[in-house]
């Protein structure tokens, strides 16, 4: 009887550890994909939006990356929803990547773009 309990405990422990390990591996893969997505957008933004870039070219960047955006007199900004594997304290794995470009009076890029990725439901 005791051997049966030990065997059941051992099997449950192995299953639990395996499940946790697989979950952690999948989480790391999703976080790596999220980081790559941020880095790709950041790299492209800095390559395509230089100081002096005009509004139509800035708009083209957002369209090319499927990022909904708006352009006002002093700011071009947009964000896209994505996901990763949120850290402890976050309610879900929902994340956003936000791109902002400050514009001058002529409507051209006044600064390098800012690209930020973050989870949305964190404490």
**pLDDT digits 0-9 by tens, 57-88:** 999 999 999 999 999 889 999 999 998 888 77
Q: Which domain holds residue 78?
A: 2-119
- C-alpha to C-alpha distance for 85 and 26, rounded to whole angstroms: 9
Q: Give the global pTM.
A: 0.78
3-state SS, residue 9: helix
Q: Above 90 in pLDDT, residue 24? A: no
Residue from 122, 115, 118 nearest 45 by CA: 115
What tokens appear for 58 in the block?
């800035």
Q: Which residues contact 37 (CB under 8 A, 6 or more apart)?
A: 82, 97, 117
Strands (E), the chain: 69-71, 75-83, 94-102, 114-119
* Average pLDDT for the chain: 86
Predicted local distance difference test score (pLDDT) of residue 85:
84
Q: What are phi and psi of 81, to 5 degrees?
A: -80, 145
Q: Which residues contact 89 (CB under 8 A, 6 or more apart)?
A: 122, 123
The total number of structural domains in the chain stands at 1
């Amino acid at each position: 009887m005791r051997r049966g309990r030990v065997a059941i405990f051992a099997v449950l422990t192995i299953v639990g550890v395996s499940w946790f390990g697989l979950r952690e591996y999948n989480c790391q893969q999703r976080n790596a994909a999220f980081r790559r997505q941020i880095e790709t957008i950041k790299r492209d933004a800095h390559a395509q939006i230089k100081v002096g870039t005009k509004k139509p070219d800035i708009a083209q960047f957002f369209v090319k990356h499927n990022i909904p955006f708006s352009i006002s007199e002093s700011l071009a900004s947009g964000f896209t929803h994505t996901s990763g594997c949120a850290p402890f304290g976050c309610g879900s794995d929902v994340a956003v990547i936000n791109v902002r470009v400050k514009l001058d009076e002529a409507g051209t890029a006044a600064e390098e773009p800012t690209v930020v990725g973050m989870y949305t439901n964190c404490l």
